[in-house]
Amino acid sequence: MGADRAPHRAAQRLTGKRSLVVTRSTYPGSGQWAGHWLGDNRSQWPDMAHSIIGMLEFNLFGIPYVGADICGFFLNTTEELCQRWMELGAFYPYSRNHNQKDAVDQDPGLWPNTVAKSSKKALEIRYRLLPYLYTLFYYAYTQGHTVGQPVEWPGEYVKVSAPRDQIPLHVRGGHILPTQRPALNTQLARQEPMGLLVAIGLDRRASGHLFWDDGEAINTVTNKKYSFVEFTFVQDILKVTVLKNLNEDLGELKMVDLEFLGVEKEPSQILLNQQDLFSGNYSYEKDSLRLLVSLDVDLNKDFELELKDIWYYVVDMS
């Protein structure tokens, strides 16, 4: 039972920073010390499907940092299988392409026009969602939440389009996801400006949070060296409220990209902190009910963005 705890502590003592330990041998509670990979799987379609079940189960076991060997470990993968698996694996909490040395290579670059393109697209989305993923791990650490969660439509049969070159992604209405422009690695990505994906719910509301620290220091939550930001969308007003900025990690970050989903019509006016926003700073896509807004505001300060006249009929949501 000390096989995960000992290297975790040793690495932190040697580096003075957080460690990253991944093990196949785990038990309930290991998640506070290490992540888990789902063992030596096979390059077969059933194994890819089973990886989803395994990933969800280990989140219930309290081990949220989990994933399978993408494209399979044993046997030889195929172009189509690896393409689909890279698209799926980009959204495992722990994402790694790995196989045995006697199997054929399965680097996405071997298929530049198919697997590589799909992988790049999926991994860029993962990098864009890293602030959201990071916040999910904060909730897993502090409240025992799961990072990997199932998607369901209770009482409905839903058929979803899934072309070979992309994976269907879904955002539940009523949620706000913090995002960040992608870069070549996570260290560089942390320096990129931030954004929000606002999926407006049927009640015309949405909410979300951002947890942020320096990404390296040990026990930032316990030592109160982190930042926490609240996002709410109520009565057509997006409010960004800095609840904690204990380590001033938000000081250099900008909020630049806002994406609203579920906007019925183009706003007649947008106000940023009660000031009119230039119309060239936003665009509306009628077919997808999507509103894109460009800003340049400091994330370490509260601000409000009001959307005027975005509904065809008024509903009392008070």
CATH number (2.60.40.1180, 2.60.40.10, 3.40.50.720, 3.40.50.2000) of 171-308 reads: 2.60.40.1180
What are the tens digits of pLDDT across the range 260-309?
Answer: 999 999 999 999 999 999 888 999 999 999 999 999 999 999 999 999 99
Mean pLDDT, residues 188-194 taken together:
93
Residue 28 is predicted with a pLDDT of 83
Is residue 292 within 8 A of residue 259, CB to CB? The reply is yes
Cα 208 from Cα 132, distance rounded (Å): 9
Kindly indicate whether the domain formed by 5-130 is annotated with CATH number 3.20.20.80.
yes
Residues 6 or more apart from 291 whose CB is under 8 A from it?
Answer: 259, 260, 263, 266, 267, 282, 283, 284, 285, 307, 310
CA-wise closest residue to 242 among 155, 202, 302: 302
CATH topology of 5-130 equal to that of 171-308?
A: no
Residue 248 is predicted with a pLDDT of 77
Q: Where are the domains positioned within the chain? A: 5-130, 171-308
What are the tens digits of pLDDT across the range 55-108?
Answer: 999 999 999 999 999 999 999 999 999 999 999 999 999 999 999 999 999 999
Least confident residue range of 28-32, 45-49, 176-180, 218-222? 28-32
Q: Record the pTM.
A: 0.94
What are the tens digits of pLDDT across the range 204-256?
Answer: 999 999 999 999 999 999 999 999 999 999 999 999 999 999 877 777 889 99
Is residue 204 within 8 A of residue 177, CB to CB? The reply is no
Residue 1 is predicted with a pLDDT of 60
Beta bridge partners of 306: 237, 271
Q: How many CB atoms lie within 10 A of CB 68?
A: 27
